[in-house]
Each structure stands twice: as C-alpha cells, then as structure tokens.
Amino acid sequence: MKLRENEINDHNNLLKGSHKVRFDFLSKLIPESESIISKLINFQIAIPSWALGSGGTRFGRFPGGGEPRNLEEKIEDVGLLHKLNCSSGAISLHIPWDVPKDYRAIKNLAAEYGLRFDAMNSNTFQDQEEQVESYKFGSLQHVNKAVRKQAIEHNIEVIKHGIELGSKSLTVWLADGSCFPGQLNFRKAFQNTLESLREIYAALPDDWKMFVEYKAYEPNFYSTTVGDWGQSLLFTSKLGPKAYTLVDLGHHLPNANIEQIVSLLLMEGKLGGFHFNDSKYGDDDLTTGSIKPYQLFLIFNELIDGMDERNMNHASGLGWMIDASHNLKDPLEDILQSVEAIMIAYAQALLIDRAALKEAQLSNDVTSAQEILQNAFRTDVRALVAEARFRSGGALSPLKLFREIGVRNQLIKERGSKTIATGL
Ligand code: PSV
Ligand code: MN
Ligand code: MN
C-alpha cells in the first residue's frame, strides 16, 4: 500500500504545535541539538525481510493478516516504514526465502522507495526441498565434505544475488554445533568451518564485507561452533581484512557485558555491525529497547567513543540492522518502535559530556562518572528524534499515523487475512 499525498503533512500539521513547544524547550537545554539532529537524519537502520510477518515459537504461531507474500511486498512494507520514519532506508534479504526473479525489476522497485540492499543472509540452518544433503548435523562444520561443499556453494550463490542487487556484504550465521557432549570434535568442527569460510571469503568481491555472527545456543544446546565473540573474532582474524564480527544483541548468555564486547571489537577494527533486538533470557528477539534500554544506551556510548577516536563516519562505517520476531504485536508497528528506540539511545549517547567523563575516569571519580552517563540517559530526547524525522519529511509520530490511516486493515484488504510471510 502507498501513502496518499499529503497524508504525512496533514498528520504533522495537527501535531506541529505541541511538538514545537517540546522541541524549543529541549533545544534551549541542549546547545549541541543541531549537530545531534543532523547525525540522526543520516542514521539509517536496515530492516530484515524476515521480520515483516508474524514470528512464532516452536509452540505455535499466530499470524496476523496482510503479511507480505513475496519479495515485492516485503520491499513495499519497508518502503512504507521508511516513508513514515525516514530512518529505514535499507532492506536485508535472506536467501532462499527472497530469491529475486528479476533483478532489474526488484532494484527499480527498491529505488522507487529510496531503499538500498543491506547485507545478504545465507541459510544453512534449514533443509530446502530440492536440497541433496541435509544440515541436520551442521553445514560448514560437517564431518562430510559433500555437505560442506553444498553449504559453501549456497553462500557463494547468495553473494551472486547480492552483487546483482548492489549489496556489499554477506552475513553468515551458522546453526552448527552439537546437542550432546561427545557428539563433536570441537577442534575439527572449528577447522572445517574455517576452511569452508575461507572458500566463501575467496568468492567475496573486493569491496564486500563478510559478517560472522555468533550465537550462544539454539538450535544446538550443548555447543555452538561460532558460539561467542571470541570464536567469531578467531574466525574473522584468520579470514582476513574483509571479515568482521557481527553482534546480535540477543545472542549472549544472560547478563553478558555487550558494551564491553563492542568496545573491544571496535578497538580491534573488527566490529562489523549489529542485529538490534532485546531480550530477557536469550534470543528472544523482542522489540529493541523494550527490556534493557540502558544497555542499548551504553552500547551507543561505546560506539561514539570508539568511532570518534578513529574518526569514522558513523553512518557508513558499520552495518546496522534490526533482527526481531513479533509474536504478539503488529510486525510493522514493532519495527517502528525498535527504530525509534535505537534513535533515542543514539541521541542520548550523543549528549554525554565526554570531556567530563574522561576527567572522572582519570581521577577515579566513580560517582561523577555514573552521574554523567545517567544525566544523558535520563534526558527525554524524543522531541529531537521527532524533529530529525520531521525535517526529513517523515511523520512526527509514525506509529500514530500508521494507526490513524489503518495500514493493517488496508494490507489485509489487499493481501488477505490468511497470509504467511517467509521467515522464522
Ligand atoms: C539467528 O538466531 C539469527 O539471529 C540470524 O541472524 C539469522 O540469520 C536470523 O536470526 C534469521 O533467522
Ligand atoms: Mn541475528
Ligand atoms: Mn537470533
């Protein structure tokens, strides 16, 4: 579905008055508000094609209606989100779920919505119907060379699709691991995986990056072959300069200090990017910022700190993406909330008085260090985020407008109430 002309304007005109009061107040409080707004305007977060429909658990799935039935409709949905918030200017595809039938037509459609193609994702965690070898006991780690070969070829195929679409990166997430002690020779599994990744790496164009995503557990419950950031960093260091470690916020054991991981990966020049989501227990894939917003803020604190030091362009240096699953909420509403939460955390982290923080650290003034961080975190920056969106032509309140114009009902009318989007 497409927004009607003036729909955003009409909505903004109604909210403009109250927004202005909040924004004027905030911009007086925050001298650097203009520079923060321009950073927010440039900040784009990719949307995964698999998060546009209802997710599920192994216990069940309760799909809503109007879900995208093909790649074209997925692009339309991300296009709509981007129109509303002006911050979702990229889509990330998962192969084989999103194999394009006609590259040129797909590229044109994406361009119409102002979208680019973010990282391509391979899938060697499920068996497809036409597949010869099974991934039941792993893919790139497999004891059988034929299985490894099939998985390598799939990844190279994914790179080829990506080249056609203008993507610049491949994300490899492996379900490989074991469920029981003794099942796997850890070293052999690592070596097989490394050897396989090397073959995929060799097929990467010069201007591409490979992201190696780690995950503590699930679907394997005893060991995962790329189980944590150390293992991923081992792989990416051995692979070479085009390989980076990807941090999915939900892929850690409970209470892991993700911000410290981020800071060290950045220091080593090996941080590839993020899959944003939130979790209470594991890979819960909940709305970003819904459970641990302070952690998200602390991650952005490390990003700004590490990136400024190396003078990196914040918008283009890393891959930023949402990776979430929506069991209860409307997927598109959920994504709007996630993008908003990321923007808020970024804006709050930009508020940190870095000189004062450094001084507090050097004088071991722990109390002041905490005050400095929490002053920034407790500032309500929503009007700054809304202003950035407003100046880009987006809606002052994307979620409100989404509901006002009844997007979901329109999508149900267009696509039907019994639609199932590909994804997990
Ligand atoms: C695995 O849990 C993961 O986070 C990986 O990024 C996958 O590619 C994605 O979910 C979708 O299955
Ligand atoms: Mn992920
Ligand atoms: Mn995950």
Question: pLDDT tens across 177-212, in order?
Answer: 999 999 999 999 999 999 999 999 999 999 999 999
pLDDT of res. 366:
98
| Nearest CA residue ID for atom 5, ligand 1 | 173
Query: What is the token pair recorded at 114?
Result: 């102002």
* Structural domain boundaries in the chain: 7-415
Half-sphere exposure of 161 (CA within 13 A, CB side): 25
Q: Which atom of ligand 1 has the smallest separation from the CA of 246?
A: 6
Residue with CA at minimum distance from ligand 1 atom 9: 323
Strand partners, 121: 94, 171
Residues 6+ apart with CB under 8 A from 169: 118, 119, 120, 162, 208, 209, 210, 211, 272, 319
Cα(218) to ligand 3 centroid in Å equals 9
Q: What ligand is nearest to the CA atom of residue 94? A: 1
- State residue 2's pLDDT score: 87
Q: CB-based burial of residue 381 (10 Å sphere; 0-12 exposed, 13-18 middle, 19+ buried)?
A: buried
* C-alpha closest to that of 385 among 38, 11, 120: 38
Pocket of ligand 1 (CB under 6 A): 50, 121, 173, 213, 215, 248, 275, 283, 323, 424
Token pair recorded at residue 197 = 């990744």
Q: Report the nearest-CA residue for atom 3 of ligand 1.
A: 173
Greater confidence, 203 or 61? 203
CATH architecture of the domain with range 7-415: Alpha-Beta Barrel (3.20)
Helices (H), 102-180: 103-112, 145-165
Pocket test of ligand 1: the residue of 248, 322, 326 to mutate, having most ligand atoms within 8 Å of its CB, is 248
The single-letter DSSP state of residue 352 is S
Task: Please work out, in degrees rounded to the nearest 5, the angle formed at the alpha carbon of residue 122 by the alpha carbons of 65 and 146.
Answer: 130
Of 39, 87, 91, whose CA–CA distance to 315 is shortest?
A: 39
How many CB atoms within 10 Å of residue 25? 12
Locate the ligand 1 atom nearest the alpha carbon of residue 123 and give its number: 8
Q: Whose CA is nearest to atom 6 of ligand 1?
A: 173
**ipTM value of the model?**
0.99
Residue whose CA is at the smallest distance from ligand 1 atom 1: 173
> In the predicted model, what is the mean pLDDT of residues 157-176?
98
- What is the identity of the amino acid at 367? T
| pLDDT tens-digit series, residues 261-306 | 999 999 999 999 999 999 999 999 999 999 999 999 999 999 999 9
Nearest in space to 226 (alpha carbons), one of 120, 98, 125:
125
Q: Rounded to the nearest whole angstrom, what is the distance from the C-alpha of residue 104 to the centroid of ligand 3? A: 31
Q: What is the pLDDT of residues 369-414, one digit of tens each?
A: 999 999 999 999 999 999 999 999 999 999 999 999 999 999 999 9
Taking the CA of 49 as reference, the closest ligand is: 1
Q: Residue 136 Cα, ligand 2 centroid: separation in angstroms?
A: 20
Q: Give the residue whose CA is nearest to atom 7 of ligand 1.
A: 173
pLDDT band for position 322 (cuts 50, 70, 90): very high
Distance CA 320, CA 4 (A): 29
The number of helices, as runs of H, and strands, as runs of E, in the chain is 16, 12
In the chain, % of residues over pLDDT 90: 92
What spacing in Å lies between the alpha carbon of 311 and ligand 3's midpoint?
31
422: CA distance to ligand 1 center in Å?
A: 13
Q: What is the pLDDT of residue 274?
A: 97
